[in-house]
Structure 1
Amino acid sequence: MFRELVSLAQSKLRAQEFSGKISCGQVSAAIETSSGKQFSGVCIDAPCSLGTCAERNAIGSMITEGEFKIIRLICIKGNDVILPCGACQELLLQLHPENSEIEVLTSIDGETIKLRDLMPYWWGNIY
């Protein structure tokens, strides 16, 4: 299920540095929407904290295409699967009421966790 997403995310990993201040591509993310479309993004890191996560770049591409509901997500750094950061988890939960069901890959062996299990006490659940 995640094979294509893993390949997509791995294909975007290209650690690069620009201007001595900006680096990017050390982390990549890929998402699959409920319509089956896939989107990817890489991190952009800046010392002034104006960078952005790979997940948010993938989400931006998805939103640009009019999609909001995600069913699968993978984040990778090098050869390691990593979890989306807290800010990205928050954004994912706010994008669509069913995004708490997103399957997040936790290991290259195919283990997953639902986003709701990463954020069991999410403030949006009380409203």
Structure 2
Amino acid sequence: MNFDWDVLVQAAKKAMGSAYAPYSKFPVGAAARVADGRFVTGCNVENAAYGVALCAECGLISQLVLSGGGRLTHFVCVNGSGDVLMPCGRCRQLLWEHGGAELEVLTSSGVRRMDEVLPDAFGADDLA
């Protein structure tokens, strides 16, 4: 399947425009496609107590669950300049939970599967 990454990047840029980043001045937007064709987005939300800030991926996963759940198939996040970012380690774990090894992630070095982005990942199967 030939996926239109530009549509997803534009959705992430739009989400980034809603970011609340008064402390770091580093707005982030994220967007993903769900297996059923829906798109979900999120933006980072900072807090004066820095440790409780929410990454854009957290909002995206919340929107996914709130809108009916499902599996993520394609994902991207961008910074305030619209440049593609690699998700942090915490967010890679969130993405693994809802997209698994097959989730395709647009990175600054091209499209990578989640099992490349988070090798030897811990997941629900490890709890069985």
TM-score, normalised to structure 1's length?
Answer: 0.81
The number of residue pairs the alignment matches comes to 120
Which of 8, 12, 15 is the equivalent residue of 2:11? 8
Q: Which residue of 2 aligns with 1:89?
A: 92
Aligned equivalents of 2:87, 2:105: Cα separation in 1: 9
Give the structure with the higher percent strand: 1
Aligned equivalents of 2:83, 2:95: Cα separation in 1: 21
Per the TM alignment, residue 102 of structure 1 is displaced from its structure 2 partner at its CA by 0.7
Aligned equivalents of 1:111, 1:46: Cα separation in 2: 32
Q: Which residue of 1 aligns with 2:28?
A: 27
Q: Which residue of 2 aligns with 1:112?
A: 111
TM-score, normalised to structure 2's length?
Answer: 0.81
The answer as to 2:122 corresponding to 1:123 is: yes
Aligned equivalents of 1:52, 1:92: Cα separation in 2: 14
The CA RMSD over aligned residues, in Å, is: 2.4
Per the TM alignment, residue 68 of structure 1 is displaced from its structure 2 partner at its CA by 2.8
Per the TM alignment, residue 111 of structure 1 is displaced from its structure 2 partner at its CA by 1.9
Q: Which residue of 2 aligns with 1:67?
A: 69
How big is each residue's C-alpha offset from its partner over 1:7-63, in whole Å with a ceiling of 9 and x where there is no partner? 111122235556xx6x78700000100011001110012241111110110110111
Runs of 4+ in 1 over 6 A off after TM superposition: none
What are the ranges of 5 or more consecutive residues in structure 1 without an aligned counterpart?
Answer: none
Amino-acid identity (%): 27
What are the ranges of 5 or more consecutive residues in structure 2 without an aligned counterpart?
Answer: none
